[in-house]
Amino acid sequence: MNVLVIGGGGREHALVWALRRAPSVQTLYAAPGNPGIAQSAECVPLKATDMDGLAAFAADHRVDLTIVGPEAPLAAGLVDRFTALGLRAFGPSRAAAEIETSKAFAKALMKTTGIPTADYQSFTSPDEATAYVRRHGAPVVVKADGLAAGKGVVVCRQVDDAIRTIQQMMVEQVFGAAGTRIVVEDYLAGEEASVLALTDGETVIPLIPSQDHKQVFDGDRGPNTGGMGAYAPVPVVDERCLDEIMARILVPAVRAMAAQGRPYRGVLYAGLMLTADGPKVIEFNCRFGDPETQVIVPLLKNDLADIAVAVCEGDLSRVSLDWHSSAAVCVVLASGGYPGKYETSKPISGLDRLAGLDDVIVFHADTALKDGQVVTDGGRVVGVTALGRDIRAAISRAYEAVDQVAFEGKYFRRDIGQKALARVS
């Protein structure tokens, strides 16, 4: 079949990498793609939110399946547009994507459904939000309601920090319209995990659990980023824990969305805190995670395109997932200064030394070509994913590979996967 992947980051590169290996895929396109993706797919110069252009391309090139990577086109209703034109697209509708695009909506859904999550209040008035924090105390988590590229969540350990964050989001609008409404919720203690599940609106199948590292500095310090690395599988999410996550969180969420007339099809991402009282939802996302995808798909044996078609056709019950027994670790190499100010157009060297290896994959995220040279083009530049017989071996191989890649200002966390080592012998 002919397949189109929408997006141009590390997640989309991972999806393209998996699809290139899928027996059912004949021709592979990506819009807009990036220099790494271009090695496996034909890149199309269309923005991920150009719904008219993308729909026309898919129709003209007889695309059998479109997989939407980023949240922005899902929020804009790209799947709705494709479906209306009789084009098969993998991902939730605009109405279903609201589970990510509005944190207030997601929290209300969880509250009415009984899905475990932190207690919260939502606000459209900065004065009311400030007064609430003064009464409630700290620590609290302040979240921009809308999409903020993974940076709109701030853990505030002091009341003054929370008030300052409310001012920045709602008055100074550092996240634009995303901060017009905010959610203030209780701080949850525990270990984080990401559990993504495929669903066609009825059948729900979990993917292998993974763990993201959101903070920029080692030891989970500093501001949130889009993700500085990930690993899978996650020892803390054992079979019993996963069964509980399915029964209390993922399946109820899919059923609740259907009951609201928003049938959810695609990937439902549950960002979780594993507390002393059991798993609780930090957030829902409406798409594959980034960088979680970079460690999940290399462990998947199935034909990814075949799975996506089953989701689109409401036929997921016929699918049984098959996983490699190895582990995967992804270390993100970022531009110095990220998630704050950083410079771009820095030449990247060493990528050729990792090309073609069986146990290392470099997924391009924010790269560009300049005079034939791959250069940095954003905050999270590349993700170096390594495979190993276990987590320890994968970590060691990942950091060996990281040392082969160089660019001015390169920054990365040095503790990706360490939490897993504390739980394995």
Question: Which tokens in the block code for residue 241?
Answer: 């824990």
Cis ω before 339 (30° cut-off from 0): yes
Angle between helices 304-312 and 10-20 (to 10 degrees): 100
List, in sequence order, the alpha helices (H) in 157-229: 159-166
Its pTM stands at: 0.95
Output Rg (C-alpha) for the chain, integer angstroms: 20
Domain covering 2-91 assigned CATH 1.10.10.10 in the classification: no
Domain assignments of the chain as residue spans, ordered by start = 2-91, 125-180, 191-318, 327-421
By three-state DSSP, how is residue 284 classified? strand
Q: How far apart are CA 216 and CA 175, in angstroms?
A: 19
Q: How far apart are CA 404 and CA 231, in angstroms?
A: 20
Angle between helices 251-259 and 103-113 (to 10 degrees): 100
Q: Do the beta carbons of residue 248 and residue 280 sit within 8 Å? A: no
CATH superfamily of 327-421: Phosphoribosylglycinamide synthetase, C-terminal domain (3.90.600.10)
Q: Do the beta carbons of residue 49 and residue 76 sit within 8 Å? A: yes
Name the burial class of residue 334, with classes exposed (0-12), middle (13-18) and buried (19+) by CB atoms within 10 angstroms of its CB.
buried
Q: Do the beta carbons of residue 192 and residue 172 sit within 8 Å? A: no
Specify the CATH number of the domain 191-318: 3.30.470.20
CA 248 from centroid of its chain's CA atoms: 22
Handedness of CA 187, 190, 194, 196 (dihedral sign): negative
DSSP per-residue codes, 375-407? EE-SSEEEEEEEEESSHHHHHHHHHHHHTT-B-
Q: Looking at residue 89, what is its pLDDT?
A: 98
User: Which amino acid is present at 252?
Assistant: P
Q: Looking at residue 151, what is its pLDDT?
A: 78
Q: How far apart are CA 290 and CA 313, in angstroms?
A: 25
Q: Looking at residue 425, what is its pLDDT?
A: 64
DSSP per-residue codes, 342-388? -----B-B-HHHHTT-SSEEEEESSEEEETTEEEE-SSEEEEEEEEE
Architecture of domain 125-180: 2-Layer Sandwich (3.30)
Q: Do the beta carbons of residue 402 and residue 334 sit within 8 Å? A: no
By three-state DSSP, how is residue 242 classified? helix
Strand partners, 267: 198
Question: Which tokens in the block code for residue 72?
Answer: 């922005």
**pLDDT per residue of the chain (425 residues) written in tens, 0 to 9:** 999 999 999 999 999 999 999 999 999 999 999 999 999 999 999 999 999 999 999 999 999 999 999 999 999 999 999 999 999 999 999 999 999 999 999 999 999 999 999 999 999 999 999 999 999 999 999 999 998 877 788 999 999 999 999 999 999 999 999 999 999 999 999 999 999 999 999 999 999 999 999 999 999 999 889 999 999 999 999 999 999 999 999 999 999 999 999 999 999 999 999 999 999 999 999 999 999 999 999 999 999 999 999 999 999 999 999 999 999 999 999 999 999 999 999 999 999 999 989 999 999 999 999 999 999 999 999 999 999 999 999 999 999 999 999 999 999 999 999 999 988 86
Instruction: Give which of 364, 370, 365, 362 is closest to 345, Cα–Cα.
Output: 370
152: left (phi over 0), alpha (psi -120 to 50) or beta: alpha
The distance in angstroms from the start CA to the end CA of the chain is 44
Cis ω before 32 (30° cut-off from 0): yes
